[in-house]
Amino acid sequence: MPSQPSQPFRGLSAFPITPADAQGRVDDALLGRLLENLCDAEVASIGLLGSTGIYAFLSLDERRRAVEAAVEAVGGRVPLLVGIGALRTDHAIELARHAETAGASALLLAPMSYTPLTEDEVFEHYRSVAGSSGLPLCVYNNPGTTHFTFSSELLARLAQLPTIQAVKMPLPAGETLENAIPLLRERTGLAIGYSGDWGMADAMLAGADAFYSVLAGLLPRPVIALVEAAKRGDEETTRQLDHAFLPLWDCFKTYGSLRVMYVLLSRLGLGRFEPPRPILPLGTEARARVLAALDPVLNR
């Protein structure tokens, strides 16, 4: 296998859907086609089995199979960042070790739990998982799904663990990115990345190290153009490019990015998979709104 590229926590990280049938069986062939598109577009990294990658809905066996298929498809051309979040620490450890053995480049860990976790519990969870693998690990701060918010103090503690090198943050509320990024970088020393595609332009213009994008998982090239303009500090071009995405960002916020991405998957002729139950496909009116919002992006 070719040597893995470095810097998995810099630039645009594209998070594709993991195509699976109603029984949760991963479609290896379609996954391979999605990943080939991302490699051809030269995204900075690929985020496999993120929230949009429906990791929480797949069995451990199917997640392992997806990793193996992805490693084969990518072939070391792009860093592969694998989500290993699990309710149980031992399961997360098992997934981390498998990802490393399979040939992944880095790990992404969210603190999944049914019972609300304390900061000490989260620290011990990360300490155990991070110590089980030599791969660099990104902390996934995603309170919208985990209902746990990392304090800067906890992130600073976690940053002392040798393999923890980055954090994937939600867009801040009540604080500007221009203030949040340097403070967090100073307190933790971690690479600072964000998710929430509608904040991509602001985050990259403010100096984020990485952006973890859902839309880039299907449409990498227009998203790359936006990110590259922001990295150059070209605010005028960045805002112009972002303007075409605004109707789609509104759909993300209204319907949830996962539901929207299944509409886009069908529109691009890549498959007709439905989201995993109990999530339902969008209805006719919502689908029409999503498709209309996609036109300005495809027609640029």
Catalytic residue positions? 140, 168
- What DSSP string describes 213-227? ESGGGT-HHHHHHHH
Q: Count other C-beta atoms under 10 Å from residue 123's C-beta.
A: 16
Distance CA 190, CA 25 (A): 35
- The three-state secondary structure class of 162 is coil
Q: Which residues of 58-87 are buried (b: 16+ CB within 10 A; e: fewer)?
A: beeebbbbbbbbbbebbeebbbbbbbbbbe
Distance CA 27, CA 88 (A): 26
**Residue 20 backbone phi and psi in degrees, to 5:** -150, 155
Q: What is the dihedral of CA 137, 190, 211, 253, to 10 degrees?
A: 90
Residue 64 · residue 95 · CB < 8 Å: yes
The answer to whether 188 is a known ligand-binding residue is no
Distance CA 16, CA 216 (A): 7
Structure tokens at 293: 């919002």
Distance CA 97, CA 132 (A): 7
Question: Which residues contribute to the annotated binding site?
Answer: 52
Q: Which residues are annotated as a binding site for pyruvate?
A: 52
